[in-house]
Amino acid sequence: MQFEFQTIKSPIENILLKEKGSKFIGYAFPVHDEDELKKSLEKIREKHPKATHHCYAFRLGINGENYRANDDGEPNGSAGLPIYNQLLANNLTNILLVVVRYYGGTKLGVSGLVKAYKESAKLTLDEAEIVTKELETQIEIKFHFEQQNVIFTLLNKFGAKIMDFVSDEDCRIYANIRLAEKEQIAAQLSEMQHVTFNFT
């Protein structure tokens, strides 16, 4: 099972390429879901309302299983696919890559377009900081008040991030843990008395 994926650390904007009068402007955004994706696309369309084309590709999911390449009116396969291929070449997911084109009066032909969109996408990704992210899951643990030291020590050992802690006679804690550690934590919690837990 795969527990990590590669994406970009932060958005990249305004990477410019000029080809026979046409301007190609590259953007890349780290995105986690379709909502973020749509908002990022809308942002680009608002920023460049007079652009001739807003071509893009995205990959979502740990293996990039949710993906799309969009030519936005360019000849079929001449824009979205070269952009998408750059995501594959860099093994990136949870990312949106957009290339905005302002037509400059000279037709580039399909091969010229493929080359320009590929180059623009590549230049944009060259500027990005690529990071490896680990998949996380959330755990809810219920336990007696006097057990909190033991629980906190265990979570600390696994580098869990405490999201919420409800301290009462019966305590509840919500924490994010690395998916890779899920079975080990579950095994150790199962051995404790008066402790219940579930993953959300």
| Band (3; pLDDT cuts 50, 70, 90) | confident
Are 105 and 186 contained in the same domain?
no
| Band (27; pLDDT cuts 50, 70, 90) | very high
Per-residue burial over 81-106, b if 16 or more Cβ lie within 10 Å, else e, is bbbbbbbeebebbbbbbbbbbeeeee
Are 63 and 99 contained in the same domain?
yes
Please report the pLDDT score of residue 28 as a whole number.
98
pLDDT by residue (tens digit) across 73-124? 999 999 999 999 999 999 999 999 999 999 999 999 999 999 999 999 999 9
Domain count, the chain: 2
Are 70 and 159 contained in the same domain?
no
Are 103 and 25 contained in the same domain?
yes
Residue 57, token pair as written in the block:
């590709």
Single out the residue in 133, 154, 189 at which a domain terminates.
133
Please report the pLDDT score of residue 174 as a whole number.
96
**Could you tell me the CATH number of the domain that includes residue 67?**
3.30.230.30
Q: What is the mean pLDDT of the chain?
A: 94
Q: Which alpha helices (DSSP H) does the chain contain, by range? A: 34-47, 80-89, 109-127, 148-157, 182-190
Are 33 and 118 contained in the same domain?
yes
For the chain, what is the radius of gyration of the CA atoms? Answer: 23
The answer to whether residue 54 scores a pLDDT higher than 80 is yes
Are 20 and 69 contained in the same domain?
yes
**Could you tell me the CATH number of the domain that includes residue 139?**
3.30.70.240
The answer to whether residue 125 scores a pLDDT higher than 90 is yes
Q: What range defines the domain where residue 121 resides?
A: 4-133
Are 60 and 156 contained in the same domain?
no
Are 151 and 58 contained in the same domain?
no
Are 190 and 173 contained in the same domain?
yes
pLDDT by residue (tens digit) across 157-181? 999 999 999 988 889 999 999 999 9
Single out the residue in 106, 133, 160 at which a domain terminates.
133
Single out the residue in 133, 150, 182 at which a domain terminates.
133
The answer to whether residue 1 scores a pLDDT higher than 70 is no
Please report the pLDDT score of residue 169 as a whole number.
80
pLDDT by residue (tens digit) across 64-76? 999 999 999 999 9
Are 151 and 124 contained in the same domain?
no
Please report the pLDDT score of residue 200 as a whole number.
82
Are 17 and 116 contained in the same domain?
yes
Please report the pLDDT score of residue 38 as a whole number.
96
The answer to whether residue 31 scores a pLDDT higher than 80 is yes
Are 155 and 122 contained in the same domain?
no
Q: Identify whether the C-beta of residue 93 lies closer than 8 Å to the C-beta of residue 133.
A: no
